[in-house]
Structure 1
Amino acid sequence: MTLMQTQGSALMSDEAQLHWVAMGDTARQLPVVMLHGGPGLPDYMGDVAPMVADLAPVYRYDQRGTGQSPWAGRHSFARHVTDLAELLNAWDVPKAVLIGHSYGTDLASRFCMTHPDRVAAILLMCGPFIGDWRTAYQAERDQRMSAAQQDQLRALKELPRRTEEQEVELLTLSWFTDHAGSEQGWRWAAQAAQQRRPINWAMNDELGSEGRTDPLDEHLGELHACLPVRAEILGGADDPRPVSALESLALRLGLPLTRIKDGGHEPWLEQPDAVRAHLRRFVQGTVGA
């Protein structure tokens, strides 16, 4: 089945232009909005959107300063939340189903706290991680890398400037451990290192710093009170980020957590059928209701 795809750009209140893509019949409500991770990467949810676009229209967009949304300036969670609200206005969408991945789960959560009336349902995929998850994450990454790979990654990070070839190598080394299998994971990471470019490192630093200063952990009571009736967490059982951090989040928010067996940080790559089935059940259960 061929699904219609449209695209355009929306003008934000501060004159930024954000590029968006919609798949499916946009006249149908409720729509799904997929929020990509990073922060600092362009949208990469193009393989996920078709999994549910026959059930509801799916909107995606490049966050400001990434992909086809060129912009220069400081980044904040508040501005990114405002961007999503203004995009919904531009799309004439009063309420949407949010599916966030990685950093996109943090954005979706903060949007939900600010605009709970505009969230029909929310699926948090591979995030947000709470507590001291970074220590376990780094240990697992090191376990999945050789000593030589660890040394090379450190050396590349320390370079004041990197060539195109060095940037691709750094990203490949940084990302291949995200996947359940190292051999296939290396191929996926190398492909992503070529396609998800350029990286907005300033955006990554600024939002990462704000996340450490004002962690979502401190807002979980507020988030719990704002969540829609339909809210779930989905994670890859073989994500190097500890599943225990998602389990803790699920417990504190009172949400169901599904672990995708043999799936990594992008579980739709290793286990597309399992992820497709889960997303379709979730979306159908919302738009059908």
Structure 2
Amino acid sequence: MDLDVRSDDNCHLWVEQAGAGPPLVLCHGGPGLWDYLDPVARLLQDHARIIRWDQRGCGRSQRLGPYSVARFVADLDAVRDQLAGPRMALLGHSWGAHLALRYTIEHPERVSHLIYVSGTGIDPDRGWHPHYERNLRLRLGRHLDRWEALNARTRTPAEDREQAVLQWSADFADHGTALEHAERMATPWLGINYDCNQAINAGVRHELTNAEVAERCRALDLPVLIIHGTEDIRPRWAVDSLHRALTNSQRLSLTGSGHLPWVENPHDFRQAVTTFLTHAADRPSGMG
């Protein structure tokens, strides 16, 4: 069911809700993309009421700035307030994992469980991006020349989609099906908001350098599940400091899967998340 949430500054946010049970809100990655987590919703909607949304300026939501981490946290709180109720579980993927973590730091009393999928951690000094860039080029293989040519020039909308599909194909472990999975992610094509991407990425870098995120993570007292695929081209060691900082977290590597582990290992992903939501200690945060 498609819904419309209005933020506190009257930005229209596209939202979809499915399933029944305790609310679980999904935060897609990007930044600057739209929600692609419908397969996650289908895997989990027998166990929770799944709420997914397009972030401000992205996909079916209104293209209205400003684009900042704080603004997106406020938008997520509007989704919670209008649809999820006083308390929700959160699942974030990639950049969305950071958004979910940042929301939890700001509003721990409003989060029952946090599921941090394929994030890149909180350590500003242990840069993961050069590692990612090397692995991206290796994984692209025979498509590298075309990707580099597209990346180096101003693109038409069709070329923009082609470049994204090639880049996203590197996020899957199985070369034989990678392009098919990436094409599915890009259908329908809703366009990338590059202004949003640049602003949010800069905001995250500034925040990790200046906001004492690790110290604030140590103050959290709620269950956290960290999931990543063993074949993700982003380094798994990037989340080491986050795992150490969280006092009530568990960490799981899903074999044979890349950056979107629910695509290539859906059975284990579903089992891990549903078990966590059902059995993890749901202790009140005690923080205001």
* TM-score, reference length from structure 1: 0.90
Query: Match of 1:174?
Result: 167
CA contact 2:13–2:53 (8 Å) conserved in 1:
yes
Q: Secondary structure at the match of 2:114?
A: strand
Q: Deviations over 1:203-259 (max 9, x none)?
A: 11110111122227841110221241x111011000000111123432333532100
Q: Deviations over 1:80-138 (max 9, x none)?
A: 00011112111251000011111111001110111111011101011133431111111
Q: Secondary structure at the match of 2:180?
A: helix
Matches of 1:176 and 1:83, distance apart in 2: 30
Query: Match of 1:3?
Result: none
Query: Match of 1:8?
Result: 3
Match of 1:18 among 13, 19, 22: 13
Amino acid at match of 2:254: I
Matches of 1:98 and 1:152, distance apart in 2: 37
Q: Secondary structure at the match of 1:256?
A: strand
Query: Match of 1:138?
Result: 133
Matches of 1:56 and 1:270, distance apart in 2: 22
1:103 matches 2:98: no
Amino acid at match of 1:279: V
5+ unaligned residues in a row in structure 2: which ranges? 284-288
Matches of 2:245 and 2:203, distance apart in 1: 22
Deviates more, 1:105-114 or 1:86-95: 86-95
Query: Match of 1:219?
Result: 213
Q: Secondary structure at the match of 1:250?
A: helix
CA contact 2:33–2:59 (8 Å) conserved in 1:
yes
Match of 2:24 among 32, 54, 61: 32
Q: Deviations over 1:114-164 (max 9, x none)?
A: 111101110101113343111111111122223x6333323212223x223
Q: Percent identity?
A: 30
CA contact 1:42–1:196 (8 Å) conserved in 2:
no
1:73 matches 2:68: no
Q: What is the Cα deviation at residue 261 of structure 1?
A: 0.4
Q: Secondary structure at the match of 1:139?
A: helix
Matches of 1:84 and 1:92, distance apart in 2: 10
1:155 matches 2:149: yes
Q: Deviations over 1:161-199 (max 9, x none)?
A: x22331122112211111111221122112323435211
CA contact 2:120–2:128 (8 Å) conserved in 1:
no
Amino acid at match of 1:236: G
Amino acid at match of 2:146: Q
Aligned residues: 278
* TM-score, reference length from structure 2: 0.90
Matches of 1:96 and 1:273, distance apart in 2: 24
Q: Secondary structure at the match of 1:215?
A: helix
1:200 matches 2:190: no
Equivalences for 1:227-242 in 2 at 5 Å?
A: 227-228=221-222, 230-242=223-235
5+ unaligned residues in a row in structure 1: which ranges? 1-5
Q: What is the Cα deviation at residue 59 of structure 1?
A: 0.8
- The 1:287/1:256 distance shift into structure 2, 3 A limit, reads closer
Matches of 1:92 and 1:34, distance apart in 2: 11
- The 1:107/1:77 distance shift into structure 2, 3 A limit, reads same
Amino acid at match of 2:116: L
1:186 matches 2:179: yes
Matches of 2:90 and 2:131, distance apart in 1: 28
1:123 matches 2:131: no
Q: Cα RMSD between the aligned structures?
A: 2.0
Matches of 2:84 and 2:162, distance apart in 1: 42
Q: What is the Cα deviation at residue 32 of structure 1?
A: 0.7
Q: Secondary structure at the match of 1:38?
A: coil
